[in-house]
Every structure is written in structure tokens, then in C-alpha cells.
A and B are shown apart, each in its own frame.
Chain A
Amino acid sequence: MYVELKNITKKFGDYEAAKNISFGIEQGRMAALLGPSGSGKTTILRMLAGLETQDSGDVIIEGKVVNDIPASERGIGFVFQNYALFRYMTVYDNIAFGLKVQKEDKNKIRERVMELISLVGLDGLEKRYPNQLSGGQRQRVAFARAIAPNPQLLLLDEPFAAIDAKVRKELRTWLKETIQKVGITSIFVTHDQDEAVEVADDIIIINQGNLEQIGSPVEIYKRPKTPFVAQFIGTSIVLDDLSGFKGFEEMEPGQKVIVRPEFVEAFKADNEKFKGLMHAVEEGVIEKIEFRGSYLELTLKVNGVSLTTNRSLERRSVAVGEKMCVLLYRVYAFDQSGAETHKNKLLKGIDVEKL
């Protein structure tokens, strides 16, 4: 592991920002600390940077415990949430600051700064002041400034939060590509699951100071370990009682389950493809149809509860009030030990997704 946190705890008065957090990131990876606001993710990032001190536990970078090394000597680049650009310095001086502090040779500084300015695509803007730049441009300056002294690790606090939605997507792609090009290990904090899934190689999910799960985006999506993760990643519906559903009779009433749109299939009664599965089908009525751009989101009333499913636009058209056959083929059920996938017993191992 290149960067490692071991049993980190941190309290601010009564508020526990980190409860015995441990995780590691491999060199060259891009990791996302994902969680709702107030979950403690920013505090964890700041402890990594040395801007906060943990109450107990170790921060290890490149095999070295850095607990007692001040932020300025950890060799970490940090991009602040609102960028914290030096307001009274030009773009050039902002990026050059770290190099000047290290008393680098003047010509070398110039070379490096100009190289970075063109890396982040701000050629010709080096004499501008931060308040003469757009949000996206400021972020690029903040990024260039953070990596100018060639840090071994780059930390970014909500790097896209201050940018309007339109530019955000474009910047995400840009940042991911640029970080890959530079090849620097990086960790960023976000509360936006789409952002984490799209940009990160590894996702670390934090909730109320606890580490809920760490893994690749696909792993986390496919195998959520806690109810929190299952609900936080992807769209999902929580149901309290599933015992009325065919194939789930043995589940106890009151057992909380989570259903994702992908676990639900709705089809017309004359659909040939699902002919063999009719014994497991429930009847549902379409309550709502929403157009989502490339697919439809159907909300169906089934056994007194609402389920959603996504429907390809290539399939036959449906209307509100129409009766459909609904097949619930998988759910996540939770108990103290974690999430468990329950399959519909009546399907006897038939994989609906492969039909």
C-alpha cells in the first residue's frame, strides 16, 4: 500500500469525525472518499494532508509513518474546495509559489510553470488574477498549483462542488485524464456518487465517521456490504415486508430489503421470452412513466408497494394504467452482519438477466 490509514480516530467535541478508520490506496490509483455531508470524509482528507491531527492511529505514506511530520513537509499537493487561490497573485505567481518557496532556480521555475499552464490549457492567461477567471479555469489553476512542486500524493477536497453542472462533467473527464497523464496517486472527496463512480478507481464510502466499504465502483455496486452503501450507490427502494411476494415467502415480515430497478422486470403478458417464468410473476399496474433520455423509468404498483424498473425504448410502448407482469428476481436483505443477496426461489437458478 502506498498510502495507508491505520485505526484513525478523531473527535471534535461530541462529534466523531472518524471512528477507527483503516484503509489503503495503491500507488498510481485514484480513490474517492464518498459520503454524505457531515460524514467525516473531509476531516479524513485533512488528516492525511496534516492539516488536522488524529486523536489516535497512524498515517503512513510510502511505508513511513508521517504522524509527526507537518503538512508542509509531507510532500502532498492539496486542492481546496473553493480552490483558495492567492487572490492578490497572478495565475503565474500562484502556480510558481510552491517552487519559489523551495528556492528553485528562476529559469527552472519559469519552465515548469509554463509547462503546467499549457498542461491545464490556460496558455495566455498567466497574467490574469483569480477573480478574472471562470470557475473551471480557477480549478485548473488550483490543480496546476498543487502539482507544481511534484508532490507524491494529490488530495482534492470536493473538486467539482463549486462548478456549475454544465461544466462539471467536462471537467471530471479532464481531471481524470490529466491525473492519469501525470501519473500521480490521488484521493478526492465527494458527496456525489456519479462523480465517484465515473472518476475513481477505488471508492471508499464513509458514513458518520465509519468506513462502510472500500472497493472498485463495480464491486461496490454489485456487492454492497451495508444497507447504507446499497442505498447510497445507485437508485434503490427500501421495503419492509416482502413475504407477500412469490418466491420470497420465507422472508420474515419486517425484514428490511432493498430493491434496485435492475432487479425488477416488467413485461406484457404475451411476451414469449418470459413464457417459462409465468409461475413467479406478480401483477402490477403502471403508475408513472418517466422519460430518462435513453430509457423509460416505470413505477409499478405491485402487492401494495411501488417498484421501479427501467425499460428500453426499443421495446413495445406502454401506458399509465396498463397491467403488466412483474418479476422480482433479486433483492438485498440486511441483518447485523451485512448485506445478503436473496434470489427469487421460484426461478430455480434461471438467470433472468441472460434471457
Chain B
Amino acid sequence: MKKKSENVVKWILIGISVVFFLLMLVWPLFEVIFRAVADGWETYSAALTADNTVSALQVTLIATVIALVVNTFFGVVAAWLVTKFDFRGKNVLSTLIDIPFSISPVIAGLAYIMTFGRSGWATPLIDKINELLGTDISLVFSVPGVVLATIFVTFPFISREIIPILHAQGKDEEEAASMMGASGFTIFRKITFPHIKWGLLYGMILCTARAFGEFGAVYAVSKARGKTFTLPLEIDALYMAGSSDSITQAFAVSSLLVGMAVIVLVFKNIVEYKAKKKEEE
């Protein structure tokens, strides 16, 4: 009897989940693909090779790669710091790491404008640097601004993935290695890194996925279509243009982003599978 009622519950739960996912995820995504190719392959490929799209793809990739590199470095440093050292204000730092999770990305973007924009307090400093180096860097309404905004929103992903691993592992192995005279870098490379390897990779994948799709923060600091727009902004612009052609183009570009997301997802699953296998060994 018990077995039977358990089965009923199981199937009801499965049914609810499947319907939910179909309705909320699968169907809308298929809609994207379907609408993208609704006007034929020629329109589709034309939309993908349009100058604005290519530029947006470039900006997206640049922002993602830089955010990934920067956040991998600082994420590991921050995680290492809060798990292996004791110092005053450790809890505050730990909370600060999470801020991008809780603050709306738009606010982050606006904050960057207030700091680095024309009237921001950091502008004189940047002007000075530009003067000295003979460059013309500006941090808002430009690609560097997009990069900064992307870094901000994706910052917690990597450190949050590896902090629990480092916590669980404790300090003993590192202490043992340091007692034997190993340098900090050797300890990280030989002792700590093998522990966090899979977690780090997983965090990097999440970071990438988030960087691809970021809209709010980037929207605040990027206003030049064809120059500083990322793929999500380009899609928004096409859709907002309102003509039936541009809406189809919006879906075509969307399908590109969906494709990139799927690739990341596949990577994520491979990493999860490998990490699990490693764990079982």
C-alpha cells in the first residue's frame, strides 16, 4: 500500500515539474528558434552577419573573457583569503563578496556612471592618466565600461563555488606543507589547487553564462549601438524597433545567445560528471 501511494506522489511531482518546465522554459525557447527562422534561412543568416550583430558579439566576447580572467584571479584570491587566514573584518569581506548577488545590476551600472561618468569623482583621475599616457580611455559609455559592469555582476560566482570546498578541506594540509618549508605559491599549486580544480572550473562556467546574458548593468553604461552594445542589448534594440523584420532579427540574434548558452551548459555537465567521477575514485 505504502509503495503505491509513494508512486502516486512521485508521478504527480514529475507531472507538475514537467508541465512547469515545458511551459516556462522549453516552449519559450523553442519559440525563439522558431521565430528566428520563420522568414527563411537567408533572413536568418543576414541578421546574424549584420554589422551591429557582429559588433555586439565581439563586445560580448571581450567582456566575458576579461570578466572571466579577472574574476578567476580575484575570486580565488578572495576565497583563499577568507578561508585560510584569520583577520579582523573577515565577515565583512565575506559579505561584500555577495553584494553583486543581492544588488540589482542596474544599480551597479548607475553607480559606475556616478563614479566614472562626466561628473563622477574618479573622472579627473582618469583624465590625468589619459593625459600622461596620451590615451583616450573613458570608463562609461564605452567598452571598458561594459567590461567593468560585467565584472561586477559576475564577481561572486567563482569565489562562492570554491569557498565551501576550501572550508571543508580545512587548513591542515597547508599547515603541514608550510611546516616542511614550502612557499605560499608551491602550497597553492601542489596542495590547494587540486582540491578546488573542479569547483573552480564550474564557477568559471557559471561566470561565463552570466556574463553572456548580463543586461541591466551593461544597459546603464552602454548607449552606442554598433559600438558598445552586447548581444542582449542588440536583441533589445532590434525588438524595440518594432518592425516585423527587426523582430525576426531580434529572434535570430537571440538564437545565437541560446546556442552559446547551450554550449556552456554542455560544458557544465561534462565538468560536473568528471568532478563526480573523480570524487568517487
Contact = CB atoms under 8 A, between A and B. Distances in A.
B182 A84 contact: no
A209 interface: no
Nearest to B278: A88
A46 to B, nearest CB: 9
A87 interface: yes
Nearest to A78: B179
B182 A78 contact: no
B178 interface: yes
Interface residues of B, number: 15
B194 A88 contact: yes
Interface in A53-81: 71-73, 76-78, 80
A80 B176 contact: yes
Nearest to B187: A101
Given A51-B179, A72-B178, A101 B172 contact: no
A56 to B, nearest CB: 20
Interface in A70-127: 71-73, 76-78, 80, 82, 84-89, 97-98, 101-102
A189 interface: no
B89 interface: no
A71 B172 contact: no
A12 B194 CA distance: 32
Contacts of A77: 179
A49 B173 contact: no
Given A84-B173, A87-B173, A101 B186 contact: yes
A247 interface: no
B172 A72 contact: no
B191 A71 contact: no
B175 A87 contact: no
A76 B179 CA distance: 7
Given A80-B172, A84-B172, A72 B179 contact: yes
Nearest to A70: B178
B175 A73 contact: no
Nearest to A82: B172
B173 A101 contact: no
A275 B194 CA distance: 76
A51 B175 contact: yes
A149 B180 contact: yes
Contacts of A87: 173, 194-195
B134 interface: no
Contact of B181 (A51, A72, A84, A85): A72
Contacts of B178: 71-72
A297 to B, nearest CB: 41
Contacts of A72: 178-182
Nearest to B173: A84
Nearest to B171: A84
B61 interface: no
Interface string A107-151: 000000000000000000000000000000000000001000100
A145 B172 CA distance: 14
A32 to B, nearest CB: 21
B177 interface: yes
Contact of A71 (B179, B186, B190, B194): B179
A86 B177 contact: yes
Given A86-B191, A88-B194, A88-B195, A101 B175 contact: no
Contacts of A88: 194-195
Given A86-B191, A87-B195, A88-B195, A97 B180 contact: yes
Contacts of B194: 87-88
Interface of A: 49-51, 71-73, 76-78, 80, 82, 84-89, 97-98, 101-102, 145, 149
7 contacts: A71-B179, A80-B175, A84-B176, A86-B173, A88-B195, A97-B182, A98-B181
Given A86-B190, A87-B194, 8 more contacts: A72-B178, A76-B179, A82-B172, A84-B173, A86-B191, A97-B182, A101-B180, A145-B180
